[in-house]
Amino acid sequence: MTTARRDTYTPETLLTVAVRVFNERGYDGTSMEHLSKAAGISKSSIYHHVAGKEELLRRAVSRALDGLFGILDEEHARVGHAAGRLEYVVRRMVEVLIAELPYVTLLLRVRGNTGTERWALERRREFDHRVAALLRAAAEEGDVRGDVEVRLATRLVFGMINSIVEWYRPDGRGTGERELADAVVQMVFGGLRAEA
């Protein structure tokens, strides 16, 4: 017999549990039963807070997307030379990724089997396009190399940044948030080659 915990959840705190389970089992592999067990409350208690697991997914990926799109509204992302704005956006992407690690991790693993997942993929593409446009502008202003195609360069830069979710653990020894953001900016703009 399982003793259900008294339901003291809010939609917000329930989300924390759900995102952890989604990241562990995959969204497709998670049932309401799994969520109920992980939260220690009954399924009907969960339904008291949310319509179902898809609503939890939508709230979770919204949080990640709001964090990312929020960057583009910040002053340093809007004002000045494109290369400077791009550098600001790259640095802030790393910061948001770290600050919202489980939410961004979930966003990056979304596959597209449900309406919510397809919406999330669509929003991710929109964000990619906004950053690609910045990269294109920086290339036109002559501050970014013109020999790598913009869409490909964007993919490689996102590949580098997004891969951080695979190994970065905030409680891990070693790399701090600031050091990581600095390293990514240096690698994205200057590459490995030593300054001449």
* Nearest Cα to Cα of residue 16 among 97, 89, 86, 106: 106
Query: Judged by CB under 8 A, how many residues of this single chain contact its own copies?
Result: 45
Does residue 173 bind its own copies (CB under 8 A)? no
| Minimum gap (Å) between residue 186 Cβ and its own copies | 6
Instruction: Return the number of other C-beta atoms located less than 10 Å from residue 85's C-beta.
Output: 20
170 DSSP assignment: T
Does residue 24 bind its own copies (CB under 8 A)? no
| Minimum gap (Å) between residue 71 Cβ and its own copies | 18
Segment interacting with its own copies (CB under 8 A) among 34-42, 46-54, 97-105, 178-186: 178-186
End-to-end CA distance of the chain: 69
Does residue 172 bind its own copies (CB under 8 A)? no
- CA separation, residue 110 to residues 4, 39, 49, 72, 184 (Å): 30, 22, 23, 22, 24
Segment interacting with its own copies (CB under 8 A) among 12-20, 42-50, 73-81, 172-180: 172-180
User: Do 116 and 58 contact (CB within 8 A), yes or no?
Assistant: yes
| CA–CA distance, 67 with 73 (Å, rounded to integer) | 10
- Pattern 128-157, its own copies, x by CB under 8 A: -------x--xx--xxxxxxxx-xxx-xxx
Residue 66 or 141 having the CB closest to its own copies? 141
Q: Which of 26, 52, 70, 170 binds its own copies (CB under 8 A)?
A: 26
CA 24 to chain centre: 16
Block residue for tokens 């997004």: 162
Q: Which of residues 44-103 bind its own copies (CB under 8 A)?
A: 86
* Nearest Cα to Cα of residue 19 among 5, 34, 8, 4: 34
* Residues of this chain that bind its own copies (CB under 8 A): 26, 29, 86, 135, 138-139, 142-149, 151-153, 155-164, 166-167, 174-175, 179-180, 183-184, 186-195
